Amino acid sequence: MALKNQYLIDLLQTVKKRNPGEPEFIQAVTEVFETLQPVVEKRPDLVKAGVLDRLVEPERQIMFRVPWVDDNGNVQVNRGFRVQFNSAIGPYKGGIRLHPSVYLGIIKFLGFEQVFKNSLTTLPMGGAKGGSDFDPKGKSDAEVMRFCQSFMTELCKHIGADCDVPAGDIGTGGREIGFMFGQYKRLRNEFTGVLTGKGLTYGGSLARTEATGYGLCYFTKEMLAANGKSFEGKTVVISGSGNVAIYATEKATSFGAKVVALSDSNGYIYDKNGVDLACIKQLKEVERKRIKEYISTHPTAEYHEGCSGIWTIPCDIALPCATQNEINKESAEALVKNGCFAVAEGANMPSTPEAIEVYLKNGLLYGPAKAANAGGVATSGLEMSQNSERLSWTFEEVDKKLHDIMVSIFKACDSAAKEYGMAGNYMAGANIAGFLKVAEAMKAQGCV
Ligand code: NDP
Ligand code: 2IT
């Protein structure tokens, strides 16, 4: 979709000039601008209030040194980030990514996406993201702890239960959240819900671990049903084998689908019989091993080096759950050629703009990340509610709320797309519905 609105063309130019060397951030802003064109035309009041000019500039960006000592006694230095993007509808909220590819542009794209995603959840949460170029892979528990403590020693000055509530993302799971929470509590001498994704013994919510993957499948089920389709009997390819991929596999399987492939950053496995999830959980959640090990106990499965080949496996439904831009035009075309009819995104921005064009041109059902993977942060919101009332809800209660939120997100995307003349384009629907709530709040609060 080309940008035709002059105001948005000019603003995008300013964003490009002001944020050089950050292609992922520009990519995220461009996609949102393209789909907001009819809103900008219909709502000059929002343009006049400078809502978009303000929305593309983070409220606050924090960058800091994270020094720590490795097991050999050597000093290591990483860089830490927290981008507090928008607090119009609630305290800043969003995950922390620990991966060597992290730099300011990645955190800004994720923070920008988070603003719309959190708005779609219907819960009162603003958008933020944080992280570091630290790589937890291959580090001992003690090294991870020392890194997390150093990271939190600075971060604790900028966050709080009513101000900014970080959580997990790539490389940040229960272990890392535990170390960060412990350090926050020690430094601030307060036990509050300052992080989500906490362990169940110290304020975590049941179903938060499962929430992003389950939520992705609840959203996808709704999208399929609205188009006369279902998971039942379908072949599904899922990339990644981390938190999101594992619980998406579990839920898709419970809905009657067969998940035949999973991956990590080295390669992918293809198991025609359907992947053995218990084995994957043991390898990935307990032993922290590579996915390649799967074939040593499953000799009929295949292992292939490299990530992109996974999209050449014939499937009905593709659920990318690894990382940004993992499906390019070529991979999207391979999916279409093999008869795939739906793509729903567990990862953030896993499809390049060219890949999305291929989906839309070929009439695939496309569930965009900021709607389809919102179940994780929605359940983080539910964890915040439980922490505030100092009560914990049952798994069934949280799961039911998650389910209902995902259904409401699908409905919001569907009806916004219809209202703005783009029926069936859930990407446009997600951007418009997510935007409007934040925009009304920003306008109401004046020029801040
Ligand atoms: P994990 O760290 O648990 O798992 C990440 C998975 O993706 C691993 O299998 C990892 O392989 C693979 N991966 C990561 N980076 C790359 C890369 N550059 N190239 C290829 N594969 C890669 O993270 P999550 O499952 O939590 O996150 C996955 C995606 O879902 C991310 O995009 C995240 O932003 C998004 N997301 C997560 C939510 C959550 O609640 N956790 C909520 C909403 C979205 P390896 O182990 O080899 O690195
Ligand atoms: O991208 C995301 O939505 C997350 N990583 C989850 C954020 C959260 O605050 O639970």
pLDDT in tens, 7-34: 999 999 999 999 999 999 999 999 999 9
- Ligand with an atom nearest the CA of residue 380: 2
**What's the CA gap between 114 and 226, in Å, rounded?**
26
pLDDT at 249: 98
CB half-sphere exposure, 169, CA atoms < 13 A: 28
Q: Whose CA is nearest to atom 30 of ligand 1?
A: 347
* SS3 of the chain: CCCCCHHHHHHHHHHHHHCCCCHHHHHHHHHHHHHHHHHHHHCHHHHHCCHHHHHCCCCEEEEEEEEEECCCCCEEEEEEEEEEEECCCCCEEEEEEECCCCCHHHHHHHHHHHHHHHHHCCCCCCEEEEEECCCCCCCCHHHHHHHHHHHHHHHCCCCECCCEEEECECCECHHHHHHHHHHHHHHHCCCCCCCCCCCHHHCCCCCHHHHHHHHHHHHHHHHHHHCCCCCCCCEEEECCCCHHHHHHHHHHHHCCCEEEEEECCCEEEECCCCCCHHHHHHHHHHCCCCHHHHHHHCCCCEEEECCHHHHHCCCCEEECCCCCCCECHHHHHHHHHCCCCEEECCCCCCECHHHHHHHHHCCCEEECHHHHCCHHHHHHHHHHHHHHHCCCCCHHHHHHHHHHHHHHHHHHHHHHHHHCCCCCCHHHHHHHHHHHHHHHHHHHCCCC
- Ligand with an atom nearest the CA of residue 121: 2
Rounded to the nearest 10 degrees, the angle between the axes of helix 426-444 and helix 395-419 is 90
- Ligand with an atom nearest the CA of residue 327: 1
- For residue 170, pLDDT over 90 is answered with yes
Which pTM does this prediction carry? 0.98
Please state the rounded mean pLDDT for residues 377-385: 98
- Ligand with an atom nearest the CA of residue 174: 1
**What's the CA gap between 390 and 43, in Å, rounded?**
42
Please state the rounded mean pLDDT for residues 60-77: 98
pLDDT at 407: 98
- Ligand with an atom nearest the CA of residue 166: 2
Query: What residue spans in the chain does CATH classification 3.40.50.10860 cover?
Result: 60-190
pLDDT tens per residue, range 250-294: 999 999 999 999 999 999 999 999 999 999 999 999 999 999 999
What are the Cα distances from residue 171, in Å, to 22, 104, 150, 322, 328?
21, 17, 16, 11, 23
Q: From the candidates 129, 251, 258, 370, give the one annotated as an active-site residue.
A: 129
Whether the CB of 127 sits within 6 Å of ligand 1: no
Percent of the chain residues topping a pLDDT of 90: 100
Please state the rounded mean pLDDT for residues 195-206: 98
User: Which ligand 1 atom lies nearest to the CA of residue 349?
Assistant: 32
Give the distance (Å) from ligand 1 centre to CA of residue 180.
19
**What's the CA gap between 22 and 27, in Å, rounded?**
9
Whether the CB of 348 sits within 6 Å of ligand 2: yes
Contact 431, 419 (CB under 8 A): no
User: Which ligand 1 atom lies nearest to the CA of residue 244?
Assistant: 25
Q: Whose CA is nearest to atom 27 of ligand 1?
A: 170
Fold of 60-190: Rossmann fold (3.40.50)
Give the distance (Å) from ligand 1 centre to CA of residue 241.
8
- For residue 437, pLDDT over 90 is answered with yes
pLDDT tens per residue, range 98-152: 999 999 999 999 999 999 999 999 999 999 999 999 999 999 999 999 999 999 9
**Phi, psi (rounded to 5 degrees) for 116:** -75, -40
pLDDT at 53: 98
Give the distance (Å) from ligand 1 centre to CA of residue 321.
6
Whether the CB of 143 sits within 6 Å of ligand 1: no
Q: Whose CA is nearest to atom 10 of ligand 2?
A: 377
- How many residues are present in the chain? 448
Question: Quick check: is 129 catalytic?
Answer: yes
Q: Which of 251, 265, 266, 406 to mutate to test ligand 1, by most ligand atoms within 8 A of the CB atom? A: 265
Whether the CB of 94 sits within 6 Å of ligand 2: yes
pLDDT tens per residue, range 320-349: 999 999 999 999 999 999 999 999 999 999
Please state the rounded mean pLDDT for residues 387-414: 98
Give the distance (Å) from ligand 2 centre to CA of residue 93.
8
DSSP lists the bridge partners of residue 327 as 351
Closest-CA residue to 35 (of 441, 443, 437, 426): 426
Query: What mean pLDDT is reported for the chain?
Result: 98
Q: Whose CA is nearest to atom 4 of ligand 2?
A: 95
Closest-CA residue to 180 (of 164, 196, 201, 200): 196
- For residue 309, pLDDT over 90 is answered with yes
Contact 82, 166 (CB under 8 A): yes
pLDDT bucket at 444, cuts 50 / 70 / 90 = very high
pLDDT at 1: 78
Query: What residue spans in the chain does CATH classification 3.40.50.720 cover?
Result: 210-372
Whether the CB of 105 sits within 6 Å of ligand 2: no
Q: Whose CA is nearest to atom 9 of ligand 2?
A: 94
User: Which ligand 1 atom lies nearest to the CA of residue 263?
Assistant: 9
- For residue 295, pLDDT over 90 is answered with yes
Handedness of CA 190, 195, 199, 201 (dihedral sign): positive
Whether the CB of 120 sits within 6 Å of ligand 2: no
Please state the rounded mean pLDDT for residues 353-364: 98
**What's the CA gap between 419 and 277, in Å, rounded?**
41
**Phi, psi (rounded to 5 degrees) for 202:** -140, 45
* Number of Cβ atoms within 10 Å of the Cβ of 424: 16
Whether the CB of 107 sits within 6 Å of ligand 1: no
Whether the CB of 130 sits within 6 Å of ligand 2: no
**What's the CA gap between 343 and 70, in Å, rounded?**
42
Homologous superfamily (CATH) for 210-372: NAD(P)-binding Rossmann-like Domain (3.40.50.720)
Whether the CB of 347 sits within 6 Å of ligand 1: yes
Give the distance (Å) from ligand 2 centre to CA of residue 97.
10
Query: Residue 362, exposed/middle/buried by CB under 10 A (0-12, 13-18, 19+)?
Result: middle
Please state the rounded mean pLDDT for residues 195-213: 98
